[in-house]
Chains A and B, each alone.
Chain A
Amino acid sequence: MNVEFINPFLSATINVLKTMCFTEVKPGKPFLKKDQNSCGDVSGVVGITGPPNGSMSLTFSKDSIIQIVANMFGEKFQEVNDDIKDAVGELSNMISGTARNELGNKGYAFKTSIPTVVSGPAHEIRHMCKAPTIAIPFSTSAGGFVVEISFEN
Chain B
Amino acid sequence: MKPEINMNMKVLVVDDFATMRKIVRNILKQIGFTNIVEAEDGANALELIKEDKIDFVVTDWNMPNMTGLELLKNIRSIEKAKDTPVLMVTAEGLANNVVDAVKAGVDNYIVKPFTADTVQAKIEQIFAKRSGKA
**A20 lies within 8 A of B23 (CB):** yes
A151 to B92 Cα, complex, angstroms: 20
Q: Which of A30-38, A52-60, A94-102, A119-127 contacts B (4 or more CB under 8 A)?
A: A94-102
A74 to B116 Cα, complex, angstroms: 14
**A19 lies within 8 A of B19 (CB):** no
A72 to B126 Cα, complex, angstroms: 26
| With contact pairs A89-B17, A97-B62 given, residues A73 and B91 touching in the complex (Cβ less than 8 Å) | no
**B93 lies within 8 A of A90 (CB):** no
**A83 lies within 8 A of B62 (CB):** no
Within 8 Å by CB of A97, from B17, B22, B64, B91, lies: B91
What are 13 A-B contacts with C-beta separation under 8 Å? A15-B113, A19-B115, A72-B19, A86-B18, A89-B19, A90-B20, A93-B91, A94-B112, A97-B92, A98-B113, A101-B91, A101-B92, A101-B93
A91 to B19 Cα, complex, angstroms: 9
Report B87-121 CB contacts with A as 1/0, cut-off 8 Å: 00011111000000000000000011111000000
**B17 lies within 8 A of A101 (CB):** no
Smallest CB–CB gap between B126 and chain A, Å?
Answer: 22
What residues of B have a CB within 8 angstroms of the CB of A98 in the complex?
91, 112-113
7 closest Cβ pairs, A-B complex? A97-B91, A19-B113, A90-B19, A90-B17, A87-B19, A101-B93, A20-B113
A23 to B114 Cα, complex, angstroms: 14
Interface of A is mostly: helix
What residues of A have a CB within 8 angstroms of the CB of B62 in the complex?
93, 97, 112, 114
Q: Which B residues between 10 and 41 are near A, CB-CB below 8 angstroms?
A: 16-20, 22-23, 26
What residues of B have a CB within 8 angstroms of the CB of A72 in the complex?
19, 23
Residue in chain B with minimal CB distance to A97: B91
A112 to B63 Cα, complex, angstroms: 12
A98 to B91 Cα, complex, angstroms: 6
Within 8 Å by CB of B22, from A15, A73, A94, A104, lies: A73
What residues of B have a CB within 8 angstroms of the CB of A89 in the complex?
17, 19
| With contact pairs A20-B23, A86-B19, A90-B19 given, residues A114 and B113 touching in the complex (Cβ less than 8 Å) | no
A104 to B94 Cα, complex, angstroms: 7
**B20 lies within 8 A of A19 (CB):** no
A20 to B90 Cα, complex, angstroms: 14
What residues of B have a CB within 8 angstroms of the CB of A80 in the complex?
none
A112 to B67 Cα, complex, angstroms: 13
